[in-house]
Structure 1
Amino acid sequence: MRIGQLLPVDGYFVRLQEALPENFLQSLTHLYQPLIGPEALMLYQTLINEVPLQEESTPQTHHTLMNYLMLPLDQIYEARRKLEAIGLLRTYKKQDDGMTIYTYDLQSPYDPNSFFEDAMFSSLLYHYIGSQKFDRLKDFFTVEVQPEVGENITADFQEVFQTTETASLVQVAAGEEVMVEEDGTVDFEWLEHMLKQRMIPVHRILTKDNRKLITQMLVLYDLESFEIDKAIIWSLTEENHLDREEFKQACHDIYRAKNDNKPIRLIPKTETSINQQTDKKPLTREELLIQELETISPKQLLEDLSSGNFASEQDMKLISDVMTTQGLPAPVMNVLIHYVLLQTNMKLSRAYIEKIASHWSRAKLKTAKEAMNFAKQERANYEKAKARRKGGYQKVASKDIIPDWYKAGKHKEKPKESQSIDMNEEQRKVAQLLKQFSEGN
C-alpha cells in the first residue's frame, strides 16, 4: 500500500514526447502486458487518449483517473510506478499555487524488433510466457526536446522490482535507451583480471555491448561477480568471443540452481525494503564494519589490507577458486579473508581458507552479518568445549560471544541522537577492528 503518496485532488498534465510506432498496440498487448499487468497497461492507454482532450492551462485531477479506471488511488500509483520502471513513463512533480501538479511524459514503447533485441526485456518475456509462445511471437514480429517541468522523480527499474525475495541492493540507473545500464554494478576490473590470468583477450569479451549485457544479467538474476565470471567462461567460443545467447542461458542456469528451479518473476519491492535500503545508517562500529564488508570487493579488500598495494595474482587466483568452488558470496568471502589473514600473520593459506570456506558453504551463509554471527557462535562453542575439557565450566564473557575483533568497541558508549558520527574517525576505528580477529577453532 502506498497510501498518501498520491491524492485525488492532485492535478496532472500528459505529454507525448514522440510519435508512437505503427504497431505499438501489439507491442503493449503481447510484449509489455505480461510483464507489467493489465492495470498498468490500462493506465498507459488511458493517458494516451487524454493527450488530445486536456486543456493546456487546467490540469485534470487524479479523481478523474479513478473514475475512468474504476481503481483505488493506491493501485493507480502502483500501476504508474510499473510504467516508470519499464520505461513507458517519466513523471515530474511541482507545486503551483499550493497545488501538487504532476506531468506525465509518455514514452514510446519499443517496437517488437527493438524489444526482442533488448537482453533484459526479452529474457523476462521468455520466462513469463514460455519458449513456445516466445518463439511464435518473435517469428511473427521479427523498426522535439520539451522544456523541464519540474524535478524528475521517475522510478528506476531497481526501485520497483526485484527477481528474488532476498535480492541485494544493486545500484543501476535508467538510461535513455535501455532500462538498466552499467553503473558500477559489476566489478569489471576484477573480471578483467580473471580473464587475463586465463590468457583470454579482454577486448573481445568486455566490449561495450557485452558489458551492458553482463550488467543486465547480473541485475535480472541477482548474481555475484564470481558467478558472472563462471557464466562467461562457459559461454566462450573457440575464438574466445562471448556467445551472448549461451551467456544468457548460463546465467539462467545459475539462477535456477541457486533458487531451486523457481520461475523468475518481477517482485514489487515493499515500502519497508526500500526504506531499509535507503534510510538505514550504520550507528555502531560493528554495523559500519558490516557495511564495509558488504560493499567492498575481495580485490579491494586485499589491497586495502596491503596499504594500497596491488593484490597478487596468486592471491586473486586462490580467492577466485574458493568463491567458484564453494559458491561463497563476496561479503562472506570478505569476512573469511579478514579472519584467515589475521590468523596466519597476513598470509593466505590455501588449506586453511579452503577448510573454513567449505564449512561456511555448507552453512549457506549469504551476508557479512551472517558470516560474523556464525563465527561468533563457532567461537562460543569452542570456548565451551575448551572449558569442559579442562573439567570445569569457565564463565564466558557474555551470553552473546563477541570475538576479540570487536573487543575494542565493546565498552563504547552509544552515540547520542544529536551527535553526528565523524565518518573519518569511524573509518580509522574500523581499520583497527580489522586487525583484532580472535583465535579460531
Structure 2
Amino acid sequence: MFNQDDFGIRPQDPFNVIQSEKLSEAQLEVLNRLFTPLIGTRAIGVYHYLSQFAYPNNNQAVTHYVIMSELKINLGDFREEMNRLEAIGLIKTFVKHNKDNSHFVYELVQPPTPKQFFNDPMLSVYLYKEVENKRYHQLKRYFEHTQMDLSNYQEVTRNFTDVFKVPNQAFDNVQENNITQTASYKGINLDRVQFDFESLYQLLSNHFVSSEIVEEQAKGLITQLAVLYGITPEGMKGLILKSLTSNQRISYEELRKQARSFYAIEHENQLPALEAKANLPTSPQQQEEVIELTKAPQTPEEYESWFKLMDATSPIDMLTSWAKSEPTLKQKYLVEDLIVREQLPFGVINMLLQYVMLNNDMQLPKTYIQEIASNWKKKELSSAAEAHAHVMDMKEAEKQRKAKQKNNPPRFKNYGQQIASKEITPDWLIKGEHKKRSGKNKRKADDAEDQSLAQDRANFLKHLKETWKEDDE
C-alpha cells in the first residue's frame, strides 16, 4: 500500500510558489464569484494564501509547518483543498524527491475570463447545479457588459507608421529576457479520459458521415460532454447527427443543448453535480497504485476499498489496467452489450470479466461470458462484493465435490464416465444402438450357420464319392 513517508507531505518538507503575475480585479471577481460555489471558500482561501509566497526573485523555500501554523489546519485538510484546486485547474503541483525530504512547487494558474468560464460546458453546468437558475443568471449578468453599436460608425484610427518614423537601421543587439509567461487557464484537465473515437467514427460512417467533421476542437467538446453526462460513443453518434448544420458541420452550441437534454430525460430534469470521490488518493504514485486493479487485496479494509473501486471503475478501464493496453474493439462491444442488454452494474461486470480471464488463460470468450452474465442477472447480483461472494461460493462447492470424489473413488475404472454417459444418452439412441447390435449378432449367427451347412454338404459329397468309388470296384 501507499507509504506516507515515500511521497506524502510532511511538515518539514519545503515548498515554493510560482505566480507569473498578480491577479487583476476582473480575475479576482471570477475566482471569488464563480469558483467559490464550485470548490468552497476554504479552497479559494488556500489559493489566496499561497499567492503571498509568490513574489519576484523568491528562491527561499518555506516548510509546510508555516501552513499548519498560520491556516490552523493539518496537512491532510490542506491536501484535500489542494486536490480541489488542482482538479478544477487553478493550481499545478510539482515535486522533487530527495533523501531527506520532498521539495514541492505550487504554480498558481490565472483564472479564466468570464467568457471562457461560461463557454466551458463543464464549469457552467456545475455552477448552474450549485447555485440554481435565478442566482446563475444574476452572476452571468454581472459579467455581461452592453457594448455600443458601432455599425454606423467609420473607424479612423491612425496606425503606427502614420505617427512614428520607421527606423532605418535594424537593432541586432537583442538579448533574451527572463520575463515569465503567464500560466493561462486551460480548463479542467481530462487527459486521462479515453473516449473511444474510433468507435464513434465507425458509427458515423454507417450514416455516411465523414469522421473529418470531428475536428480537434470538437474532440475536446465531445470528451467534456461524455464525462459530464456519461455518454457512450453510440449515444454521442445520435447527438452529433442531431447537431449537424446544413453544410455538414457540427454546431457546438446545438451539441451542448442536445447532450443536456439527453441527460435531463434520463435523470428527471436534474443536472450533474460536482462530487468529490471518496478516499481520493493524495499523490500520483498512490493513484497509480489504486488503479492497479489486478493486485489482490489481503485485509478486510483492502477488500472494502477494492470493492468500492470495482463498483466505481468502468469495465473498459479495468481491462486496460489488466492488459496494460487499450482493449480491442470486440472487447469494448462485449462490455457495452453487458451494460445495455444485461444491465449489470460496473462492479458485477468487472468481477465477471476477471473471473472469466483467470479461468480461461486471460481470454474472454463471448458466449461463455454471456451465459454467466445471464445467470448472474437472474441471481440479481448488484455489486462487486455480492459477485465476489457468489464466486467464492461456487469455488467452495467445486472444492467439496472434488473432495467427495477423492474420498469415494469409483469401484471400477471409468465407472463414473460410463454412468454419466448413460445418463445423458437419449432412449431413442440407446434403442437404436441395441437394434444395431442385435442385427449384427443375428448376421453373425446366420453366417456361422451357413458355414456349418456348407461344411456338412462338403463332407456329404465327399462321402458319396468315396461310396461310388467302392461300388465301381
- Structure 1 length-normalised TM: 0.57
Indicate yes or no: 2:205 matched with 1:196.
yes
CA distance in structure 1 between the partners assigned to 2:218 and 2:209 by the alignment: 15
1:179 paired residue among 179, 182, 188 = 188
- For residue 103 of structure 1, the aligned residue among 88, 102, 105 is 105
Secondary structure of the 1:108 match is coil
Q: Which residue of 2 aligns with 1:248?
A: 259
C-alpha distance in structure 2 between counterparts of 1:97 and 1:77, whole Å: 22
**Which of 128, 133, 136 does residue 134 from structure 1 map onto?**
136
**Structure 1 residues 396, 269: closer, same or farther in 2, change over 3 A?**
closer
1:46-65 alignment to 2 at 5 Å? Answer: 46-52=49-55, 56-65=58-67
Equivalent-residue separation in structure 1 for 2:328 and 2:187 (angstroms)? 30
Q: Which residues of 2 match residues 260-339 of structure 1 at below 5 A?
A: 264-271=273-280, 274=287, 277-282=290-295, 291-292=318-319, 299-301=329-331, 332=349
Q: Distance in 2 between matches of 1:100 and 1:293?
A: 31
Q: Distance in 1 between matches of 2:317 and 2:386?
A: 10
The 3-state SS of whatever aligns with 1:215 is: helix
**Aligned partners of 1:221 and 1:252 also within 8 Å:** yes
Contact preservation (8 Å) 1:226, 1:323: no
Q: Which residue is equivalent to 1:421?
A: none
- Give the C-alpha shift of residue 365 in structure 1: 6.1
Measured at CA, do residues 319 and 361 of structure 1 come closer, stay the same or move farther in structure 2, by a change above 3 Å? farther
Partner of 1:25: 28
SS at match of 1:110: coil
- Assess, with a 3 A threshold, how the Cα gap between structure 1 residues 238 and 249 changes in structure 2: closer, same or farther: farther
Residues 229, 8 of structure 1: CA spacing in aligned structure 2 closer, same or farther, 3 A cutoff? same
| 1:41, distance to aligned residue in structure 2 (A) | 0.5
TM superposition shift of 1:214: 1.7
Contact 1:89–1:106 (Cα < 8 Å) also in 2: yes
Is the 2:93–2:104 contact (alpha carbons within 8 Å) kept by the matching residues of 1? yes
1:241-283 Cα offsets, whole Å, 9 max, x none, are 35222233045336626xx958523214415794763344356
Deviation for aligned residue 1:23: 0.7
2:223 corresponds to 1:215: yes
Structure number with higher helix proportion: 2
Cα shift at 1:96: 6.5
Report the counterpart of residue 432 of structure 1 in structure 2: none
CA shift in 2, pair 1:341/1:325, >3 Å: closer
Asked if 1 retains the 8 angstrom alpha-carbon contact of 2:122 and 2:225, the reply is yes
The CA distance in 2 between the partners of 1:329 and 1:9, in whole Å, is 45
Q: Structure 1 319/80 Cα, relative in aligned 2: closer, same or farther at 3 Å?
A: closer
Q: Give 3-state SS (helix, strand or coil) of 1:50's partner.
A: coil
Please list the CA deviations of residues 169-217 of structure 1 after superposition, one character each: whole Å capped at 9, or x if unmatched.
Answer: xxxxxx972323466611111111111112334333x222221112112
Measured in 2, the distance between the counterparts of 1:290 and 1:74 equals: 28
Deviation of the 1:140 alpha carbon: 2.5
CA contact (8 A) 2:51 2:108 kept: yes
Quote the offset at 1:107 in angstroms.
Answer: 1.0
Match of 2:35, as an amino acid?
A: Y
1:48 is displaced (CA, Å) by 1.4
CA distance in 2, matches of 1:35, 1:51: 25
Say what the alpha-carbon RMSD is for the aligned residues: 5.0
Q: 1:66 aligns with which of 58, 65, 68?
A: 68
Identity of aligned residues (%): 21
Question: Which structure has the larger Rg over C-alpha atoms?
Answer: 2
Q: Deviations over 1:66-95 (max 9, x none)?
A: 233222222112112221221111222235
Looking at structure 1, the residues matched to 260 and 228 of structure 2 have their Cα atoms a distance apart, in angstroms, of: 12
Deviation at 1:362, TM superposition (A): 10
User: How many residues matched?
Assistant: 328
The 1-side partners of 2:317 and 2:96 are apart by 39
Task: Verify the 8 A CA contact 1:235 1:247 in the aligned structure 2.
Answer: yes
The one-letter amino acid paired with 1:397 is E
Corresponding residue of 1:37: 40
Counterparts in 2 of 1:245 and 1:118: CA distance versus 1, 3 Å: same
User: 1:193, 1:365 → 2: CA distance?
Assistant: 32
- State the Cα distance separating 1:127 from its structure 2 match: 1.5
Change in CA separation of 1:372 and 1:228 when aligned onto 2, cut-off 3 Å: farther
* Equivalent-residue separation in structure 1 for 2:387 and 2:200 (angstroms): 24
**Aligned 8 A contact 1:10 1:99 in 2:** yes
Q: How far apart in 2 are the matches of 1:252 and 1:145? A: 48
Gapped regions of structure 1 (runs ≥ 5): 148-174, 303-315, 344-351, 381-394, 402-441
| Comparing 333-342 and 76-85, the one that deviates more | 333-342
Kindly indicate whether the alpha-carbon contact (under 8 Å) linking 1:11 and 1:59 is maintained by their aligned counterparts in 2: yes
| Structure 1 residue 18, shift from structure 2 partner | 4.2
C-alpha displacement of 1:299: 2.7
- Cα separation, 2, equivalents of 1:19 and 1:211: 33
Report if aligned partners of 2:200, 2:237 keep a CA contact under 8 Å in 1: yes
Give the Cα–Cα distance (whole angstroms) in 1 for the partners of residues 54 and 317 of structure 2.
50
Distance change >3 Å, CA 201–CA 42, structure 1 → 2: same
Distance between the aligned counterparts of 1:32 and 1:192, measured in 2?
Answer: 36
Partner residue, 1:420: none
Q: Distance in 2 between matches of 1:116 and 1:225?
A: 26
